[in-house]
Amino acid sequence: MKLSQLFGQTLRDDPAEAEVASHSLLMRAGFIRPLGAGIFTTLHLAKRSMMKIEAILRDEMDRIGGQEISMPVVQPAENWKETGRWYQIGSEMGRFKDKNDHDMVLAMTHEEVVADLVRREIQSYKQLPRLVYHIQTKWRDDPRPRAGLIRVREFTMKDSYSLDADWEGLDKQYRAHFQAYFNIYHRCGLNVVAVKSDSGMMGGKMAHEFIFLTAIGEDTLLLCSHCGYTANRQVARFHKNTAAPEEMKPIEKVPTPDCKTIDDLATFLGVPKSKTAKAVFFMASIPEGQDVTEQFIFAVIRGDMDLNETKLANAIGARDLRPATEEEIKSTGAVPGFASPITLNPVPLSAQGEERVRLKVVLDDSIPSSPNLVAGANESGYHLLNTNYPRDYAADLVTDIAAAGEGAACPECRSPLHMERGVEVGNIFKLGTRYSDALGCTFLDQDGAQKPVIMGSYGIGVGRLLACVAEAHHDEHGLIWPITVAPFQVHLVLLRGKGNPQAKTTAEKLYSELQTAGIEVLYDDREESPGVKFNDADLIGIPVRITISERALAQGGVELKLRHQPTKDIIPLGEIEARLRSVIQSLQEEITSKVIPVPFKT
């Protein structure tokens, strides 16, 4: 490809909307252009890099027995209604009606389509196991697209789906994907960690995320340096210090003026925060069949802990949570700042006084083992000493709803956990029979009994992976692509001398020879100054640069420089093809050496 003919151009300045390095550099280097919020056009350079990533994806999926298919982006809503996700997923789902007034869906993912295929195609255990995958466009109407390709609304994803006759088969395919994903990331030059994660809208028995550790990430991880425990903060467990046993004391109401926060209360009473009970209020949207009902959630957690909204939402089966308003809190009989589940008296919702606020009390599992806690008296300016569960109040649910934080005790070895931020670049899910049961995906086993197909789902976003590679591989001058995903292997730069056509003739000849030899070359043949050409070469970030100039030719050859190294060498023209092959092979071997087995941890 001649740079003079390339569609698109490099930019001198950082785009005003760019928040992170990868966004800025991919824009400036002419890889991507925005169309709308979270919607991008991938130009030729980006398309070439993404095709290389897709080739790696295909290779690794094929190695573990995958069969590539192609499933539609536009889907009838019927299957989504059968699984219930039509009702469970909120505004992120792209919904519309066709001209016949049928509900339609823009694909967020393809579990429903795969399940529909399975119930039509799989009848016998002899047809299992199977693994199918495709690389296809997805649409998720994210309310907060950001950071260029890292968080978008339209994107390309490799999603694969395992189909098994038993749970042992699912375990085998899940672990095969676990290793294949590490192979993919390492072949792209990206280091990641695998962490336990929330299964979210996917459902299922187990999930892992693959995280690129970076300060720009929105995911927060809890890691143990001692035993290797890793988890997304959304689901991270931690060891909770158990309170010392005490005899239950009688409740005592005490004045606590202006003590609306746990810190104020603990200071005023001279007690540790672990001796207090904190009330947190939400309105939850909970699917009930085809309807979604709103319910007030009164959550209680020990005062020295923070509440984890994901754990709470999963525990109660909520589609969405939002903070309750002051009026909504008061409607339960609670007083904001001085609330507890004790002596609640929800007010009527109707004039007749028959229907009252739908209220659910959820306790963190630290509360029952923490005696004599200070809690609100549901009266402004007062708290209650020595409250105890279940003596003093009832709960609808007791479960872990606490958020792990920096320094929390590891649930496995009790060592302090540390927090890091990262970007999710892939996920794997043990779906089990979640979709098989909903859509009737069964097969006849060897004994003639009908059994549900056991499924797994596995996804990697191609554009996000490209952006994370860019985030990991750049310097102050521009991108530094790993050889495996670089749009071209060699950047050929022509510096024209005055009145001497030798450099141009040599460059044109070498460009033709390298193309014939199968070496991928981006040839900068433009009428630009050396400074512009070298700046653009550094910005675009192709791994190997060859410069042809009168000075280099006078020294007996052409100049070779690796993008990630400062040194330059003069290589005789007759040796340049062999040297390039050697350099490219060396760069590829360096990447390949990092593709190693990774222990699977549950």
Euclidean distance between CA atoms 423 and 58, whole angstroms? 23
The radius of gyration of the chain's CA atoms, rounded to the nearest angstrom, is 30
When pLDDT is cut at 50, 70 and 90, the band that residue 348 belongs to is low
Tell me which of 240-249, 302-311, 591-600 is least confident.
240-249
- Residue 383 is predicted with a pLDDT of 95
When pLDDT is cut at 50, 70 and 90, the band that residue 287 belongs to is confident
* DSSP at 12: S
**CA dihedral over 422, 424, 425, 427, signed as positive or negative:** positive
- pLDDT tens for residues 110-167? 999 999 999 999 999 999 999 999 999 999 999 899 999 999 999 999 999 999 999 9
pLDDT score of 578 more than 90: yes
* DSSP at 381: T
Q: In this structure, which amino acid lies at residue 386? A: N
Tokens 């990331």 belong to which residue? 185
- Residue 352 is predicted with a pLDDT of 47
Tell me which of 118-132, 302-316, 356-370, 539-553 is least confident.
356-370
pLDDT score of 436 more than 50: yes
pLDDT score of 351 more than 80: no
pLDDT score of 213 more than 60: yes
- Residue 61 is predicted with a pLDDT of 98
Strands 490-494 and 521-524: parallel
Strands 382-387 and 373-376: antiparallel
- Residue 601 is predicted with a pLDDT of 76
Sheet holding 103-106, edge to edge: 74-76, 103-106, 94-97
Tokens 């130009």 belong to which residue? 43
When pLDDT is cut at 50, 70 and 90, the band that residue 313 belongs to is very high
Residues 6+ apart with CB under 8 A from 396: 360, 361, 362
pLDDT score of 288 more than 90: no
Mean pLDDT over 461-469 rounds to: 98
Mean pLDDT over 181-200 rounds to: 92
Q: Which two tokens stand for residue 58?
A: 């295909």
Q: Which two tokens stand for residue 460?
A: 């990697």
Euclidean distance between CA atoms 517 and 499, whole angstroms? 30
Helix, strand or coil, per DSSP, at residue 120: helix
| Residue 267 CB-half CA count within 13 A | 8
- Residue 319 is predicted with a pLDDT of 80
Tell me which of 235-249, 337-351, 376-390, 393-407 is least confident.
337-351
Euclidean distance between CA atoms 118 and 155, whole angstroms? 26
pLDDT score of 201 more than 70: no
pLDDT score of 171 more than 80: yes
pLDDT score of 347 more than 60: no
How does DSSP assign 21-78, residue by residue? HHHHHHHHTTSEEEEETTEEEE-HHHHHHHHHHHHHHHHHHHHTT-EE----SEEETH
* Percentages (nearest 5) of helix, strand, coil residues in the chain: 30, 30, 40
Euclidean distance between CA atoms 121 and 77, whole angstroms? 20
When pLDDT is cut at 50, 70 and 90, the band that residue 374 belongs to is very high
Rounded to two decimals, the pTM is: 0.88
CB 456 within 8 A of CB 161: yes
pLDDT score of 260 more than 90: no
Mean pLDDT over 245-271 rounds to: 94
Euclidean distance between CA atoms 473 and 479, whole angstroms? 6
Euclidean distance between CA atoms 29 and 457, whole angstroms? 35
Mean pLDDT over 206-232 rounds to: 92
Mean pLDDT over 454-476 rounds to: 98
How does DSSP assign 308-363, residue by residue? -HHHHHHHHT-SEEEEPPHHHHHTTT--TTS--STT--PPBSSTTS--B--EEEEE
Q: Mean pLDDT across the chain, nearest whole number?
A: 93
Other Cβ atoms less than 10 A from the Cβ of 374: the count is 25
Query: Which residue segments constitute the domains of the chain, with CATH numbers given?
Result: 17-236+418-471 (3.30.930.10), 252-403 (3.90.960.10), 488-592 (3.40.50.800)
pLDDT-above-70 percentage for the chain: 96
- Residue 590 is predicted with a pLDDT of 97
Beta strand segments in 187-305, E? 193-196, 206-213, 219-223, 230-232, 252-255, 277-288, 291-302
Tell me which of 29-43, 276-290, 374-388, 545-559 is least confident.
276-290
* DSSP at 151: B
